[in-house]
Structure 1
Amino acid sequence: MDLQSLIDAVSAVVTSHEGELVAFRRDLHRNPEPSWQEVRTTRAIMERLESAGIPAERLDQTGVVVDLGATSPTLRVGLRADIDALPLTERTGLPFASRRKGTAHACGHDVHTTALLGAALALHAHENELRRLGVAVRLLFQPAEESMPGGAHIVLEKGLVDDVDIVFALHCDPRRDLGEIGLRVGPITAAGDQVTVRLTGHGGHTSRPFLTEDLTFALGKVICDLPGVLSRRLDPRAGALLVWGGVHAGGVPNVIPESGEVTGTLRMLDASAWQGIGPLLQELVEAVVAPYGVEAELRHVPGVPPVVNTQWGIDALSAVTVALLGNAGAVPTEQSLGGEDFAWLVMNREGALGRLGTRTPGGPTYDLHRGDLVIDERAIAIGARTYASLPFAALAARGGAALPPIV
């Protein structure tokens, strides 16, 4: 049985479950859970796997791990999906919209989770082929991708990728058409950190700012000057982008407050520059606020490095994409400034992340992390077929060798 035949076989299983998978995704979408709180989601995944006779283990308090295939493999492949939702309000008006106020699957993790569940069903149905080929598959339903530090650290701490040769993930891309998967060798995402600057000082009446340490003004200088100064102290090829998302200071118009803070994200394209950014941030914050006499506290929380796709990983993902979607389905993609904690799983390891197109061709373009995100649900089956095919394609692509025949 050649690679195309194996892909066709697992795809047929996904097709037989397609309606069920859409219903499963809608249930997750209606009942989103934020990072580290994915209790119901974890239970739903485990119950469906166990009903299919697939042994599953809880990753930690939340999350699920499944091992399929050979017990003494020559190749172990990891497949990862994230299961958490975002702390924002959905505005889609869909009949299965989130019924949990302030929480929504606005990043497509419900699609990733359902696609990996579909792959589990397909691979379980063809587990004999995996065993004959000496391939083991570890499916990781990972919690808390949207937090810093993220759930990938739990995967690492438990050693769940220590014996994995290559690991794959998919991420919804609502700016890419259904039937396309974005591929790129090398960095495909950016490093992403949280940055908070808290200022304290003597407040007072706004009529006499010279008798205070005008904290609000100093905070404004941090907001405006720190990103600019940072761009002059770093090589522009580092691709640094510091953007503020929240400002909190005072509450009335005629009082200069005694404390305030600004918080945001720092994203960087270059991993080596990112690793040494902490001391420079501290130096620049102190320099910006020095004329105003305020005290500054920098809280810099390193988040994730860039995801770096390896050649072997992209060779396998490209082969699957072409087999499932044709040559037009495999499209080049750019490195984004978004962060993704899958980066920790592929650090010093073979692997790849692909961008799964979810935009209805000719339809509106949405974006991630927005309450109006709508995904073409046909992407669920494409994602499931892709995940299920990757273990076979990874074996075929290893060292450029042909897929061993099944006898």
Structure 2
Amino acid sequence: MTTAEIPTLARDPRFTGLVEAARALQPRTVALRRQLHKHPEVGLRLPRSQAAVLHALDGLDLHVTTGESCDSVIAVLNGANPGPSVLLRGDMDALPLTEDSGLAFASEEPGHMHACGHDTHTAMLASAARLLSSRRDALSGRVIFMFQPGEEGHHGARHMIDEGVLDAGGRPVERALALHITATATSGVITAKPGPIMASADAWTVTVTGRGGHGAMPFHAIDPVPAAAAMVGALQTMVTRRFSVFDPAVLTVGRITAGTTSNVIPETAELEGTVRTLSETARAEVLEQIPAVCRHIGAAHGATTDFELVTGYPPTVNDDAVAGRVLDLAASVLGQRHATVMPDPLMASEDFSYVAQKVPATLAFLGACPPGSEPDSAPPNHSNRVHFDESAFAHGVAMYAAFALDTLR
């Protein structure tokens, strides 16, 4: 960002009082967040969460539709003047996890928990819809509010794209923004970076088939266990020798299974793991190399291999210009100390990547380290003890609103 840009934005009347307006909506934001947190739902079907969003939007002059393949909500706000569309996303689904946070509004649904903060994303987006509705006269175009289920491994964004969320405004989406809360960053701080910010994630399984036999006579069998063990080391070596550190691949073997007892050579052994990359080029290459390495090692042991792939999300790649603008807006609207350039990508994955493949978009993080904790030691997202500072919500609401107002000048 330029030093001249921040004061210019600060003087723009469209951004005046955004944080104060967001704070005025804080009781609504917190109430919806806690309602969702008490009753988390997993996957693509979230009837209770969908109903809560529809109730939160009731009475606003929005065009609201719901999904067919999933329990999504699309709300469109028409500005006072014609123009392009801007998309703001909030995901709604929870994780299959038993909560142990000790919060007064902890999950009441056994085995389900909002451990990744999607309840906060949904609540902030609903309040942003209310804030922007009150500033319709400053909008030239349409705001698409994308309330998405199924982010946690269910490809909810892809379902919504297939059902037309990017065309809901009737004009091309010029820019898109998703905020993701994190308990391991300073509360109220927006962090983003141009380029890759989150990785692809694919899961794979290799089944090694040999010939079973007695543990005392391995020469009468084809033992799949040493073959599988050799594959683990060879796969790690392949990653370090075939991929640049500047376009990395992270491969993890998370499970090895073989045999039933100590004196029997099993017929099969199984490896299961994940692989993550920051580019589609590296992704394609590593997914080609894994079965090849295992096949050749298996052949050297006299065994055969079978490779199965469960395709996950592509890399999330921020548009350079949009990421820079988000940081400019954060510095102007929230204050310069609340805008930070993220030094490195995360190797976790996000299905906002599907949106970012189609339109200029940015995923940014909103810090919400709880009071009394330090970012480095606070329970992280996906922990059953994670807790987010609710005072950070006003900055999230204000950022959603500022992004829309800036795009739809």
Give the TM-score of the pair, scaled to structure 1: 0.88
Q: Distance in 1 between matches of 2:266 and 2:310?
A: 26
DSSP 3-state at the match of 1:169: strand
Contact 1:69/1:128, CA 8 A, preserved across alignment: no
Q: Distance in 2 between matches of 1:282 and 1:324?
A: 50
**In the alignment, structure 1 residue 7 sits paired with structure 2 residue 15:** yes
Give the match for residue 308 of structure 1: 317
Q: Distance in 2 between matches of 1:178 and 1:87?
A: 26
Q: Deviations over 1:145-170 (max 9, x none)?
A: 1115x112112212322521111111
- Residue correspondences, number: 392
Per the TM alignment, residue 263 of structure 1 is displaced from its structure 2 partner at its CA by: 2.1
Contact 2:190/2:364, CA 8 A, preserved across alignment: yes
Where does the alignment leave 5 or more consecutive residues of structure 1 unmatched? 396-402
Amino acid at match of 2:147: F
Q: Superposition RMSD on alpha carbons, in Å?
A: 2.4
Distance 1:42 1:222, change over 3 A: farther
Q: Distance in 2 between matches of 1:106 and 1:213?
A: 45
**Pairing partner for 2:394 from 381, 397, 406:** 381
Q: Distance in 2 between matches of 1:252 and 1:71?
A: 73
Q: Distance in 1 between matches of 2:238 and 2:112?
A: 36
Q: Deviations over 1:79-115 (max 9, x none)?
A: 0111111222322222222233332222111111111
Per the TM alignment, residue 53 of structure 1 is displaced from its structure 2 partner at its CA by: 5.2
Per the TM alignment, residue 251 of structure 1 is displaced from its structure 2 partner at its CA by: 4.1
Q: Deviations over 1:208-251 (max 9, x none)?
A: 33333323333333333312223222233321100133344344
DSSP 3-state at the match of 1:177: coil
Give the match for residue 160 of structure 2: 155
Distance 1:262 1:23, change over 3 A: farther
Q: Deviations over 1:40-88 (max 9, x none)?
A: 1112111221254544211333111010023873221000111111222
Q: Identify which range, 117-126 or 269-278, moves more after superposition.
A: 269-278
Give the match for residue 400 of structure 1: none
Contact 2:250/2:276, CA 8 A, preserved across alignment: yes
Q: How does 1:7-406 map to 2 (within 5 A)?
A: 7-52=15-60, 54-60=62-68, 61-70=70-79, 73-130=82-139, 134-147=140-153, 150-162=155-167, 163-333=172-342, 334-360=344-370, 363-364=373-374, 365-395=378-408
Distance 1:294 1:39, change over 3 A: farther
Distance 1:385 1:201, change over 3 A: same
Where does the alignment leave 5 or more consecutive residues of structure 2 unmatched? 1-8
Give the TM-score of the pair, scaled to structure 2: 0.88
DSSP 3-state at the match of 2:145: strand
Q: Distance in 2 between matches of 1:152 and 1:114?
A: 18
Per the TM alignment, residue 261 of structure 1 is displaced from its structure 2 partner at its CA by: 2.6
Distance 1:276 1:179, change over 3 A: same
Contact 2:370/2:387, CA 8 A, preserved across alignment: no
DSSP 3-state at the match of 1:313: helix
DSSP 3-state at the match of 1:73: strand
Q: Identify which range, 111-120 or 214-223, moves more after superposition.
A: 214-223
DSSP 3-state at the match of 1:188: strand
Amino acid at match of 2:157: A
Q: Distance in 1 between matches of 2:396 and 2:276?
A: 28
Q: Distance in 1 between matches of 2:206 and 2:261?
A: 21
DSSP 3-state at the match of 2:312: strand
